[in-house]
Amino acid sequence: MTARLKYLSAVSKNVRRPSYGRNRASGIVHIGVGAFHKAHQAVYTDDALQETGGDWMITGISLRSPDAAQALNPQKGLYTLLERGPQGVSARVIASIAGVLVAPVDQPHVLVALASPHTRIVSLTVTEKGYGLDPKTGGLDPSHPAVAADLADPDNTRSALGFLVAALHARQVLGRPPFTVLCCDNLPSNGKVLRRLVLEFAALRDPEIVPHIESAVSFPSTMVDRITPASTDGTFADARVLTGCEDRAAVETEPFSQWIIEDRFVAGRPPWEAGGAVFVEDVTSYEKMKLRMLNGAHSMLAYAGFIAGHKYVRDVMGDADLARLVARHMSEAARTLDPVPDVDPGRYADELRDRFANPAIAHETWQIAMDGTQKLPQRLIEPARIALERGLPMDAYAFAAAAWMRYTLGETEKGESYVLRDPREAEIRSALAGCGRDPSAVVEGLLALPGLFPGALATSTAWREAVAVRLKTMLADGMRSAIAREAAARHG
């Protein structure tokens, strides 16, 4: 028996494991089986299956990489979840994933799974950049690489939107009811946004399906939250110690987990309440709070922290000045929000800072820094626009934007270069060509990136100057000085 197959029988008896039978249908097909899905929705589903059973196993689909399939399939989808808290680390076995299909090499089976009569929910975590969203219009960007490829060659589906539309069409032709589409990415009004993208894509590729999608498919919005760093050799080593077997599919996460969902499922859903999910009428206010307070502060600290030499979020929280800026950022972000039912923003911010400071979680600033152009609009730019409109202080956003701009230069303070890992990297490079390290030129160049900063900000002299003055300090005196000055100016 190989080390991997042994996982099925060799997990130490002390490790928490589910007792439900796994020989049940996949009611859920999930696109994007990354660490976050394995630490979040799959765990809620495991809890639901444990509590009430039902045909709610998950079939995973990877749109690009075979890695998840290669790690999970030899273990029949089972894997170890490590929860790391200040009190220590615990392990449990998650059994809700039946297996993973790799779309580029197994497109027919992907379509069969999506069109299966058992499939009642198709959920997605494909990251912000995976949808083909045009930030300028809030609608479809037909030049998004996978979307453009699908539109040009409809028999060879590769994008998330392409699979959704092809599957909904196939189901209609086969006389099967549609499924609920559940977006689990960090986008505001993620269900609404995805609905619009699916409809716009369908109008281009398959117009006769549009009325059916409009009337029969639901797209509930959700707020998802669990800090989940990429797995490392440390994850696998701890999984081995705690379970007694080798598991290259193991993931690690924090003890905290939150899932708020609009309860609009056209074909039923698992009782995810079993894992603590909360169902509400309208998730908008929770999403905005999380995006602006958690993710906004995350992006700010990732750019400033990375350039200041902090590898992990927990190191940032150990830097008194930067930790103060994290607190400031959260309280400024809270001022742009409408009241959130049953949430005290001050307490929410305190809890976020405790989570960020979790000494057991090694969450890399460089990981959070990726895809800035996809994350900034909902995290930093929208609250900055609101702050400008309402005459609220702009400092927190100006500092965060300057830190991102400093980061886009692609070189640490020691002169080492790094890749931005941003789908608009080439555009950023050309916007910065010839700007050198002139702060005003860099600010001008990046504020002019199409669709990123709305006109109100891009044309505001106050905003431009607030960003430029900070970038100037970052470039002239270094990020640590800029952080110290910012923290002192506000609180000194």
Binding site for ligand CS2 (CB under 6 A): 186, 225-227, 295, 298, 367-368, 375
The Cα–Cα gap between 160 and 193 comes to: 14
Task: Give min distance, CB of 489 to ligand CS2, in A.
Answer: 26
Task: Specify the residue, 20 or 366, whose C-beta has the smaller distance to ligand CS2.
Answer: 366
CB 122 within 8 A of CB 94: no
Please, which residue, 186 or 235, has the CB nearer to ligand CS2?
A: 186
Calpha distance 145→302 (Å, rounded) = 27
CB of 36 to ligand CS2, least distance (A): 7
Q: Measured from the CB of residue 360, what is the shortest distance to ligand CS2 in angstroms?
A: 15
Q: Are 121 and 41 in contact (CB under 8 A)?
A: no
Q: How far is the CB of 59 from ligand CS2 (least distance, A)?
A: 24
* Residue 275 structure tokens: 């894992």
Using Cβ positions, the residue closest to ligand CS2 within the complex turns out to be 298
**Cα dihedral 226, 230, 232, 236 in deg (nearest 10):** 50
Instruction: State the amino acid at position 114 in one-letter form.
Output: L
Q: How far is CA 280 from the centre of its chain?
A: 21
For 29, residues 6+ apart whose C-beta sits below 8 A from its C-beta are 58, 59, 60, 61, 113, 114, 116, 119, 121, 122, 123, 179
Q: Which is nearer to ligand CS2, 169 or 355 (CB)?
A: 355
* 123 versus 218: smaller Cβ distance to ligand CS2: 123
Of 49, 61, 55, residue with least CA distance to 17: 49
H or E stretch covering 258: strand 258-262
When the beta carbons of 367 and 412 are compared against ligand CS2, the nearer one is 367
Whole-angstrom distance, CA of residue 452 vs CA of residue 449: 6
CB of 53 to ligand CS2, least distance (A): 29
| H helices present in 244-340, as ranges | 284-289, 296-307, 313-317, 320-334
How far apart are CB 289 and ligand CS2 at their closest, in Å? 12
Whose Cβ is closer to ligand CS2: residue 110's or residue 307's?
307
Instruction: Work out how close the CB of 298 gets to ligand CS2 at its nearest, in angstroms, rounded to a whole number.
Output: 4
Beta carbon nearer to ligand CS2, 226 or 470: 226
Min separation Cβ 201 and ligand CS2, Å: 25
Tell me whether residue 368 or residue 443 sits nearer to ligand CS2 (CB atom): 368
Residue 145: how many other CB atoms lie within 10 Å: 12
